[in-house]
Amino acid sequence: MRVIADDGEQLGIITTLDALAIAMERGLDLVEVAPNAEPPVCRIMDFGKFKYQQQKKQQEARKKQTVIQIKEIKVRPKTDEHDFQTKLKHIRRFLEEGDRVKVSVFFRGREVVHKDRGANMLARIVSDLGEATKMEQEPRFEGRTMNMMLAPGVKKIKPADGAKEELAPEAVE
């Protein structure tokens, strides 16, 4: 088998017993890197340290990836103005955090006859949010619910009404 030392130096083609002896002499492990090569390639290394470094690389990769969640907001066709504004603030906050938002209008009983009210409510949500959001899925009717999917837009969303804005410190003369 072809053996590579821990410092990257090629030791050449030697027998398995000799390679194991060299690895034990250095206090390291003999790891088969390319079993399908002709002859098979083995490397002398600290296998525990190698596994630890791989695990750390995977952790770093997981840290850098972003997980986009889908948040759901439920409204009814008869949702009052104040409740509507509160739901709108929640939607704004979710979009600021980079999450996607599923807005659902639930119809109870005979409300299902007035699908136009639900469509108007969804259209109003989109118009109130402005260009800071993009509609990922058009409103569609499924059973007794009307659903729409929103995603964060290109522009940043301004803080919701009542949110505290930090003031720049004044220059002292």
DSSP 93-154: HHHHTT-EEEEEEE--GGGGG-HHHHHHHHHHHHHHHGGGEEEEEEEEEETTEEEEEEEE-S
> Which residue range forms the structural domain that includes residue 21?
2-46
Q: What is the dihedral of CA 133, 139, 145, 151, to 10 degrees?
A: -20
Report whether pLDDT(165) > 80.
no
Number of domains in the chain: 2
The two three-digit tokens of residue 160, written as one number: 């919701």
Same domain for 29 and 77, yes or no, is no
Answer yes or no: is 9 within a domain.
yes
Tens-digit pLDDT profile for residues 50-61: 899 999 999 998
Average pLDDT, the chain: 85
| Distance in angstroms (rounded) separating the CA atoms of residues 104 and 86 | 15
Answer yes or no: is 160 within a domain.
no
Same domain for 29 and 96, yes or no, is no
Same domain for 86 and 140, yes or no, is yes
Same domain for 23 and 80, yes or no, is no
pLDDT of residue 97: 87
* Percent share of the chain, pLDDT over 70: 88
Q: What is the dihedral of CA 84, 89, 92, 94, to 10 degrees?
A: -100
Q: Are 120 and 74 in contact (CB under 8 A)?
A: no
Q: Are 34 and 44 in contact (CB under 8 A)?
A: no
Report whether pLDDT(5) > 70.
yes
CATH classification at residue 87: 3.30.110.10
Same domain for 91 and 25, yes or no, is no
